[in-house]
Amino acid sequence: MVTIQVQNLIDFVGEVFGHADSSPEEAKRIATYLTTANLTGHDSHGVIRVPVYIRWKETGFVVPNQTAEVVVDTPSLAVVDGKFGYGQTVTPQAVRIGIEKCKKAGLAAVALRNAGHIGRVGDWAEMAAAEGLVSVHFVNAAGSLLVAPFGGVEKRLSTAPYCVGIPREGQDPIVLDFATSVVAEGKVLVASRGGKKLPKGALVDADGTLSEDPTVLYGPFTPEGPRDHTKGTGAIRAFGDHKGSGLAFMCELLGGALTGTGATSGGRRFANGMLAFYVDPKVVDTSHVFDAEVSRYTDFIRATKPMAGVDQVLIPGDPERKTRAERTKNGIPLPDDTWAAIVNTAREVGVSEVSIQRATA
């Protein structure tokens, strides 16, 4: 493992994107969001994505320095076209529109279409929560066939994330953020680069055999080489049997079809779509019980007697808070294969050896 201090990692990744045609502002923004994903323990959406993003940029799948276009604008609803810009650029633009509309109307909806990979969806729930707003997010990844629906063995769904954010006065928000598959595709990527192994039966091969081997999804690969999910014979499984599969289906229809991104299909350009709803508790909660009740119920859940082998019953966000504190203090651990792939990409775009050595200082 290689352990890199947080600011060093942000600076280094920012330099990579700065050498790949992003403005200094965009490069730092992408680097910060990716590193934040690692900070919270979501390594699947962190800096391991650098080689993928640069490859997409070089093939024209993602376009640097885009400004999202508002194509429908009403007092409480907007449709925003990301024009295939980096998700870390166009998504906060769309979320800001939702926040501003919600503060005026008490309720707002924003359909974001044709965004580059938007990263950890929890970032956008946290952005809304910082403004005191509840938010709900349905996301799909058009062109990213990865997951077999319940009862099947063929890729038909994206990992279709779902996310809810709830603000709390004077405390971190409560954020529920998960892929509707057993694991996010990025976790398969992490496992393939020497990171945490997959849960038992996370993948299913074409013959119905359950597996934890990343080659089922990617086909054969070399340690530093690209990963292509179209080359594998199998798929990721939906979580929770028919329930996770059904939620993924709804994310495809709402985050994909309704936004105009399109539900996932093969042979098309990658894009994230996100349908997000924003609610102002100050408008809804006329009795002023919401925040106190959130606190009471949170304490009630945490006080549950744990089963054998469990230290404490947690609420959404507890593991992320613990990991963020630990990694902020001690640095971000990256498997050797992951770091080697990032460094190889950095060299390809022209980052100096001095900068590479400085990152691990």
- Contact of 270 with 158, CB cutoff 8 Å: no
Q: What is the pLDDT of residues 96-131, one digit of tens each?
A: 999 999 999 999 999 999 999 999 999 999 999 999
Q: Does residue 299 carry a pLDDT above 90? A: yes
- Do 156 and 260 lie in one domain? The reply is yes
Residue at 19 is within a domain:
yes
Same domain, 167 and 130: yes
Mean pLDDT in the chain? Answer: 96
pLDDT for residue 306 = 97
Q: Residue 250 belongs to a domain with what CATH number?
A: 3.30.1370.60
Residue 43 CB-density burial (10 A; 0-12 exposed, 13-18 middle, 19+ buried): buried
* Pairwise CA distance, residues 294 & 288, whole Å: 11
Domain assignment present for residue 226? The answer is: no
CB 67 within 8 A of CB 84: no
**Does 45 lie in the same domain as 23?**
yes
**pTM of the complete model:** 0.94
Residues 253 and 145 reside in one and the same domain: yes
Instruction: Judge if 166 and 279 occupy the same domain.
Output: yes
Does residue 77 sit in the same domain as residue 32?
no
pLDDT of residue 111: 98
Based on the domain organization, do 31 and 127 belong to the same domain?
no
The residue segments making up the domain with residue 136 are 69-181+238-284
- Tell me the per-residue pLDDT of 140-149, one tens digit each, with 9 for 90 and over: 999 999 999 9
Q: Residue 345: give its domain's CATH number.
A: 1.10.1530.10
Residue 113 and residue 246 in one domain: yes
Specify the number of domains making up the chain: 2
So what's the pLDDT on residue 223?
85
pLDDT at 353: 96
Does position 186 have pLDDT exceeding 90, yes or no? no
Q: Are residues 264 and 135 in the same domain?
A: yes
Residues 101, 105, 109, 115, Cα dihedral to 10°: 0
* 154 and 96 housed in the same domain: yes
